[in-house]
Amino acid sequence: MDLAFKFLVAKNTIMGTLFPKKTAESAKKLFLTPRKFPVKSWEEALEKTGTRLTLNNGLSAISWGNSRRKILLVHGWESRATQMAGYAEDLVAAGFQVVALDGPAHGYSTGKQANPLMFARAVAQANSEIGPFEVIIGHSMGGSAVAIALSEGVVTKKVVLISSPSSIESLLKRFAKFIGLPGKSTQQFLRLIGEKVGRPANALDIAKLIQLNSSQGLIIHDRDDIEVPYQDAKSIERNWQGARLISTQGYGHRAILRQEDVWHSIMGFVQASE
């Protein structure tokens, strides 16, 4: 933890006690405004092999291959399409067209703020404009967005959730604790996020929403994930009838996307006959 972040935590703890609503307002803005990080050289190379697609409402996506069998990749918070697509070539070779979506305010998509419900609406929009998708794969908050989209009418045969939270409310509480918000300010923070999103956090319980769809499910989660606890995967598994959980060790939250054995498992899942 660097000095600047320690100062932020201390400030939030003190100010959140004295001025809970004002501090919660600042935390809301921080949570809803994704940072953008430099594009890596391997992503630039991957970008050149695909075709950029411009969707309505300022959304952007990138596509590889050409097939009636389509797969949608949905990245997580502060990520982008190319970071989900390291194994797009293998999926194309297996007979799929692969489409990776840039979420709102991420990658080449427009906007300055985003939230799980906006991501879910983007998934539904991509499905309408480019799909239908036979398989949808989501990582982290992208997985939460996929579950929300399914609960709101998106239909697909198979779904893969990688390192996905089981509860948006729990995710928000972990964030509040991480940045040092005290109890009263945390409650204000949850309320303000709910108002901004248009739905209270406790209504976005991924483990319960996933029950409502009939897609075949695969859950992949690392036991050493410190951003989204492994128990979230177990909660989703308990609620998602027929879904299979693959547990990994030592990959963490983000590096799991770059692991050959993880994508080998995904490949087996998407190619398996029903």
DSSP line for 182-233: -HHHHHHHHHHHHHHHTS-GGG--HHHHGGG---EEEEEEETT-SSS-HHHH
- What confidence score (pLDDT) does residue 255 get? 95
**Maximum distance among all alpha carbons in the chain?**
59
Contact criterion met (CB below 8 Å) for 53 and 130: yes
| CATH tag for 3-12+56-271 (out of 2.60.40.1260, 3.40.50.1820, 1.25.60.10, 3.40.47.10) | 3.40.50.1820
Give, for all 274 residues of the chain, the pLDDT tens digit: 578 888 888 998 998 999 999 999 999 999 999 999 999 999 999 999 999 999 999 999 999 999 999 999 999 999 999 999 989 999 999 999 999 999 999 999 999 999 999 999 999 999 999 999 999 999 999 999 999 999 999 999 999 999 999 999 999 999 999 999 999 999 999 999 999 999 998 899 999 998 878 899 999 999 999 999 999 999 999 999 999 999 999 999 999 999 999 999 999 999 987 5
pTM assigned to the model: 0.94
Q: Are 147 and 169 in contact (CB under 8 A)?
A: no
Count H helices and E strands in the chain, helices first. 12, 8
pLDDT at 232: 96
